[in-house]
Amino acid sequence: MGQAAKVLQLFKTLHRTRQQVFKNDVRALAVYGVLMKIGSDVELLLRKSVIQGIHTDHNTLKLVPRADLLVENVPYCDSPTQKQ
């Protein structure tokens, strides 16, 4: 079984266990939704903001940005041009 399949299986098991352990406890079950939201927010933050750095030497770090993080760098202009 691959790593992704193991993670998915663990998540499913935890979900079922949560339903059994906190059966009829609306408050405890609602906390799970909050945790899911936090996890979703963290995933978005990591995907949009984090760039991998690799140590190549004692004082050197190579940055490896993903293509989806690279954006066009447009310089600031005090007097924008008018579209015609």
Average pLDDT over residues 54-79: 83
What are the sequence ranges of the domains in the chain? 3-65
Task: Report the distance separating Cα 22 and Cα 29, nearest Å.
Answer: 7
pLDDT tens-digit readout, 7-35: 999 989 998 999 999 999 999 888 888 88
The pLDDT assigned to 8 comes to 92
Say yes or no to pLDDT of 80 above 70: no
Whether residue 59 contacts residue 53, with contact meaning beta carbons closer than 8 Å, is answered with no
What the block records as the tokens of 49 is: 């903001």
Whether residue 53 contacts residue 63, with contact meaning beta carbons closer than 8 Å, is answered with yes
Whether residue 36 contacts residue 43, with contact meaning beta carbons closer than 8 Å, is answered with no
How far apart, in Å, are the Cα atoms of 51 and each of 4, 32, 61, 80? 22, 29, 12, 32
The pTM score is 0.58
What the block records as the tokens of 13 is: 């098991």
Task: Report the distance separating Cα 42 and Cα 31, nearest Å.
Answer: 17
